[in-house]
């Protein structure tokens, strides 16, 4: 079965959302998060404040990236249940990072810079840290659900949650290093290295062979 293609309305909505968020992150980075209003973002993006709120209910949402959760959950769900949990989760994290920082030439540079700026804002802005933690919890739950284990089995649930938490801790270490060196090392490679350091090379063997 072929994957459903987005409708014209969905594509336009996605383009508008990305336009608004790109201007917001640029303004937050240049002026500081607290110094920029939603009205400022709307003016820069050439849309109304109502349009901004339609896509981003709160100012904090302008910095959060919801795409990774969907990408990671989809890849975890598509992975083989015969693989170790850390390989299923770790492989999905690496694959999602590859998509988010992918592209050629200017597109690649823009994608990486956008993600770097978002991460820096979430780490350095007190008003965003709580929302960032909430988003990480939501991502963890999405991964656990995507693993498809019998959550009525306490042992299976515990194993899934423990493996997911450990993989996300490795990813956090990679993200921190990535922002510290200003994206000089490819993010998927850093995540793979962090996973290998935590669980051994077998945790990312399937990714390295692709």
Say which range, 60-69, 88-97, 167-176, 193-202, has the weakest mean pLDDT: 60-69
| Alpha carbon separation from 21 to 7, 18, 54, 65 (Å, rounded) | 21, 5, 12, 9
Over residues 108-137, the pLDDT tens digits come to 788 888 999 999 999 889 889 888 888 889
pLDDT by residue (tens digit) across 132-157?
A: 888 889 899 999 999 986 667 889 88
Which of 9-18, 31-40, 84-93 comes out lowest in average pLDDT? Answer: 9-18
Q: 94 vs 28, 79, 100, 173, 180, CA distance in Å? A: 28, 13, 10, 13, 19
The rounded distance, in Å, linking the Cα atoms of 130 and 178 is: 21
Residue 11 to residues 6, 7, 23, 67, 173, Cα–Cα distance (Å) = 6, 6, 18, 14, 34
What's this model's pTM, rounded to 2 decimal places?
A: 0.83
Based on its alpha-carbon atoms, the radius of gyration of the chain, rounded to whole angstroms, reads 18
């Amino acid at each position: 079965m072929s994957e459903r293609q987005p409708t014209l309305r969905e594509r336009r909505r996605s383009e508008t959302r990305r336009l608004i968020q790109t201007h917001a992150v640029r303004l937050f980075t240049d002026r500081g998060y607290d110094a920029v209003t939603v009205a400022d973002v709307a003016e820069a993006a050439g849309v109304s404040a109502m349009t901004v709120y339609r896509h981003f209910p709160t100012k904090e949402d302008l910095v959060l990236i919801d795409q990774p959760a969907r990408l990671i959950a989809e890849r975890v769900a598509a992975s083989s249940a015969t693989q170790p949990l850390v390989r299923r989760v770790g492989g999905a994290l690496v694959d999602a990072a590859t998509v988010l920082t992918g592209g050629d030439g200017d597109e690649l540079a823009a994608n990486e810079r956008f993600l770097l700026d978002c991460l820096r804002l979430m780490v350095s802005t007190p008003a965003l840290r709580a929302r960032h933690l909430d988003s990480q919890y939501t991502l963890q739950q999405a991964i656990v659900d995507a693993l498809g284990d019998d959550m009525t089995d306490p042992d299976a649930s515990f194993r899934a949650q423990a493996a997911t938490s450990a993989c996300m801790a490795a990813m956090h270490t990679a993200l921190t290093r990535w922002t510290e060196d200003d994206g000089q090392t490819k993010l998927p490679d850093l995540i793979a290295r962090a996973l290998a350091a935590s669980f051994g090379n077998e945790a990312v063997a399937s990714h390295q062979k692709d």
